[in-house]
Structure 1
Amino acid sequence: MEKLPKVALPVIVVAIILVIVLAKSAVTIGSGEAGVLYKTFDNGVVTDAPPLGEGFHIVAPWNKVIIYEVRQQELFEKMKVLSSNGLDIILETTAWYMPKSVDLGRLHQEKGENYLDRIIKPALRSAARSVVGRYTPEQLYSSKRDIIQSEIFDETKKILDNQYIVLNDVLVRDVTLPATIKDAIERKLKQEQESLEYEFRLVTAAKEAEKVIIEAQGKADANRILSASLTDKILQDKGIEATIKLSESPNSKVIVIGSGDSGMPIILGNQ
């Protein structure tokens, strides 16, 4: 076996060192991520420059890059809270959040990679307890759901705005009440619905009765006016008109000129 030239060994060693250095220096940041640069010999975390964006980067081998996901993320939280009258309520929420990319260095320096458990979850729980504590179980179960959701979002956002985190939305997925309270509320809502339906039927019946009375009054007024306008003279004129039309009819008949007790011509008969 031939011995390697004396110059080959140093070259191989240098090449190995270069490969190691390059491997330590090369950083690839994926889609939806950003990197916080930590300079070991220069004041640690870089906070006065934007984080490293997506793609391939070369950094000094003695420095580090901490990669964060900066796209929108989802947090599902199920918690026990108290209503205004002290009853236990199970609240299920979903929050959509993302770190502020421009402040990623400060987030890492002040909160750390575990900012979800350190900041977001406590903020969401605190806001939920504060908001739910203002309402009764009945309000939570029915009419106030959207308002509660909006208030939890506003209070959580107020906390997170100064924590380098963007809160996009909060959704109240479900409100679970004690079984006895839920049953009582449902019975009450059913009774209220039945009461509204009964009132509606009463109003409808009253309107129908009013309509019948108005129609009857109208007919009575019309008959009274008609009766008052039918004088003997008018009746005679109408009778004469009818007699003339009868006489002009092609049907055979016998007409006696004269008048009966009413003053109208007498028709004896026809064939």
Structure 2
Amino acid sequence: MGSSAEIVGFGRSVRKLHLSKLLNSTKMSGIEEGKKCAAFAAVDELVKDNQVIGIGSGSTIAYAVQRIATRVKSENMKVICIPTSFQARQLILQSGLTLSDLERHSELDLAIDGADEVDAQLNLIKGGGGCLTQEKIVASCARDFVIIADERKDTVQLGQRWEKGVPIEVIPMAYTPVMKKIQQMFGGQIELRMAKQKAGPLVTDNGNFIIDWKFSADKVWDWTATSTQLKMIPGVVETGLFVGFARKVFFGTADSQVTTRLAPTATLVK
């Protein structure tokens, strides 16, 4: 028991050190500067006292949590944070923010998350980190859902910049038939995502597998219909297509500028 506790403690200290280096570096890359200024702009504009806030996953979210924590302390604000992943939960706890869950707070004022790609209509590909199901659940519970990203994620059509495809969470026993059905229905390339630091496939927080569907970027897709058809395949838990979810996106640039874009009202499903 003693050595196990030591290993857990060591892991936590390494994680905190990594986040500290990321958030406090004075020699920030252009990409990181873009992430930071987008996150800060969104938090400063939208976060208010007594809110329940959904906290997304990914590297950009670390800056949003940092800014929320700073404002909570300096402005004596009270906010409650709902995580979308183990990583988000750790960020909330390490930043001294109030942690809760959807059982106690099923209606959120705001959810902030990153994205792998954002098109002109604010359709999103998310789930590069494997947390797409929780991210979509939390987004669906929020009155307002916004995206923060660096300018690399901005595109006219999905697939023009993001080349890793649409993540799809699947029940483990179904991954082979699901892959075959997607191939038959939509074409493209489908791969089971493998873990980087263990033998075998990546396993989500929900105990499922992730397959990545690399679709043709040359085709004009109806993403609403495609998302619905994918979810109707038995064995599919959720897809990384977020269609009609985001109201606004904040894009940060390497020179600390922020541009925003609103979704066309007609495309919002919430």
Task: Give the TM interval when normalised to the shorter protein.
Answer: under 0.3
**Structure of greater relative contact order (alpha carbons < 8 Å, 6+ residues apart):** 2
TM-score normalised to structure 2 length: 0.19
- Bigger Rg, which one: 1
